[in-house]
């Protein structure tokens, strides 16, 4: 989770929303990314999806069965679905996101009958640091002229 936080910090410095994600297989990090939506002009380039893409490419496989994903914020609906499609084994996330989350908030994607693979979910890791980083980022944005 520390590495995910580093990715989030780096994303914030690039002007991206400070969220970071890391994919781990058998204790080794295979991919790490922050949000890249601005850099790539791609609304789907959330940290989780960027990290999943990177891991699949590196491993030369379509899915990531047995992999674990660490992300600093509760995944949104799009990312929760991508995590399911990738067959991620365990999802560890930092802060809850009551406004945009889809795991323990919103649509609670993994509890829906249309979800065919649900990861084990663990939350609350470094949640204060994750949430503070986002709050600081958005309060700075609001202060802009
Ligand atoms: Zn997302």
pLDDT digits (tens, 9 = 90+) for 121-135: 999 999 999 999 999
Q: What is the pLDDT of residue 141?
A: 78
pLDDT class for 109, splitting at 50, 70, 90?
A: very high
Catalytic positions? 48
pLDDT digits (tens, 9 = 90+) for 52-99: 999 999 999 999 999 999 999 999 999 999 999 999 999 999 999 999
Contact (Cβ atoms closer than 8 angstroms) between residue 92 and residue 125: yes
List C-alpha distances in Å: 25 to 31, 57, 89: 9, 14, 10
| Cα of 13 from ligand 1 centre, angstroms | 19
Q: What is the pLDDT of residue 145?
A: 57
Neighbours of ion ligand 1 (CB under 5 A): 46, 76, 79
Q: What is the pLDDT of residue 25?
A: 97
Contact (Cβ atoms closer than 8 angstroms) between residue 37 and residue 31: no
pTM, entire model: 0.95
User: Do you know the residue count of the chain?
Assistant: 145
Tell me how far apart the alpha carbons of residues 23 and 40 are, in angstroms, rounded to a whole number. Answer: 20
Least Cα distance to 72 among 39, 42, 34, 28 occurs for 34
| Cα of 75 from ligand 1 centre, angstroms | 5
Q: What is the pLDDT of residue 142?
A: 75
Q: What is the pLDDT of residue 144?
A: 61
Q: Percentage of the chain surpassing pLDDT 90? A: 94
Q: 2 phi and psi, to 5 degrees?
A: -60, -40
List C-alpha distances in Å: 1 to 6, 12, 26, 106: 9, 17, 15, 24
| Cα of 83 from ligand 1 centre, angstroms | 10
């Amino acid at each position: 989770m520390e590495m995910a936080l580093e990715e989030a910090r780096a994303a914030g410095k690039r002007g991206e929303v400070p969220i970071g994600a890391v994919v781990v297989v058998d204790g080794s990090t295979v991919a790490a990314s922050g949000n890249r939506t601005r850099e790539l002009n791609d609304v789907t380039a959330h940290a989780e999806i960027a990290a999943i893409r990177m891991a699949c490419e590196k491993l030369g496989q379509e899915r990531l069965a047995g992999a674990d994903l660490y992300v600093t914020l509760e995944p949104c609906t799009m990312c929760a679905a991508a995590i399911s499609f990738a067959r991620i084994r365990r999802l560890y996330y930092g802060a809850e996101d009551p406004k945009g989350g889809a795991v323990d908030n919103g649509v609670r994607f993994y509890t829906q009958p249309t979800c065919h693979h649900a990861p084990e979910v663990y939350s609350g890791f470094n949640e204060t640091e994750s949430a503070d980083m986002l709050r600081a980022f958005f309060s700075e944005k609001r202060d802009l002229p």
